[in-house]
Structure 1
Amino acid sequence: MEGFSVIQEIMTYFQNSMNQYIGLLMTHLLISFKALFWATIIGLPLGYLSFRVKILAELFQTGSQLLRIIPSLAVLFILIPLVGVGEFPALIALTFLAIPAILINTALGFHEVPVITKEVARGIGMNQKQLFRRIEVPLAMPYILNGLKLALVEILASATLATYIGAGGLGTLIFTGLGLYRMDLLLIGGGTVTLLSLISIALFDFIIRKVQKNHV
């Protein structure tokens, strides 16, 4: 009976507050994709640089590991004295949290390009730009996409914590549910984030399989 009651409460919420839900969902998606965009802009070139320059590789790898072990909430609170509250500090925090996955997988992808393949390409007259565009990038792309997938899942989950500093999103439902002991809000907020993550994983896995199939 309790489970049925929760289902009724969920249905009632959607009947009465659908506009609020859509607004929170759009806010969550918007800040997540903004963070993924900036993390990609930063992470891809750094990943390639770490592949090309050994000293930078060690520096970037160490920095990425440090970012990975710092709790998401700690990053958000560290930024409050520097840039205040709201969407901007949340965007900065989410971007930095997403960079390690992109950076590491980008470097790994370029490292995994077979040396013999590059030697054959040079042997038929390809210069470095052609080698990069036609051989290295296509073969590294599955790893790069995997990094983007991991980064997006990290962002979607961590964006719920951005509610703590006034950035809005689905975390509003989760923390309101916790404060009011509303299981329906917890399930709606947490369930939506879980569903978004699963959809992201499935979509990226589909694209990765397509890319791999085209370069077999």
Structure 2
Amino acid sequence: MKQRRSSSSRPRRHGKAQSSRANAGRRDAGRLRIIGGDYRRRQLPVLDHPGLRPTPDRVRETLFNWLSAATPGARVLDLYAGTGALGLEALSRGAREALFVEQSTPVARALEANIATLGATGRVITTAAEAFLGEALGNDTAPFDLVFLDPPFRQDLAETSCRRLAEGGWLATGAFIYLEVEATLEPAVPEGWVLHREVRAGDSTGRLYRLP
């Protein structure tokens, strides 16, 4: 669900009906509304870019109800960030800082502008999420408490991304990982990840995992 993005966007199903719905979705996606926390009701522009739209309010509200106790003070990683809707929502609700990873340069610049508008503590890295996770965790980077992982559909990125998160030392003890994939996919996740909550929305399923 999340912000359907840039060059790293999920492929859409083809066909006249789906195309019409996608076009309608883009017309409605000109603004991102923060729905809770310090920036509640702030509205931010969304770049007019194919496939880019914020995660719907209903999904964000459900997710952050689940994460209400975990978000304050958290270090957040928003992979395949797009509009950064989830990372920005986390910052609004008390996350200490957020790192956004977005492959498209125009989309990343638009996200940087929105972070600056809010005065939030966030940083954007313009690179592919797969390349980012393939690097070693730097000495100046602490593990993350909360990760939003929304890879493009039907590109076999979910399991690889999860494995690299686990093996690369990116996750703090007790971290939460929100993974969103197409509804038909049940990805294998690393050993020790415990399914905490699950939500179905449209053609996608969101699963919230937690480390022991």
TM-score after normalising by structure 2: 0.25
User: Which entry has the higher C-alpha Rg, 1 or 2?
Assistant: 1
| Higher strand residue share | 2
Higher helix share: 1
TM-score (norm 1): 0.24
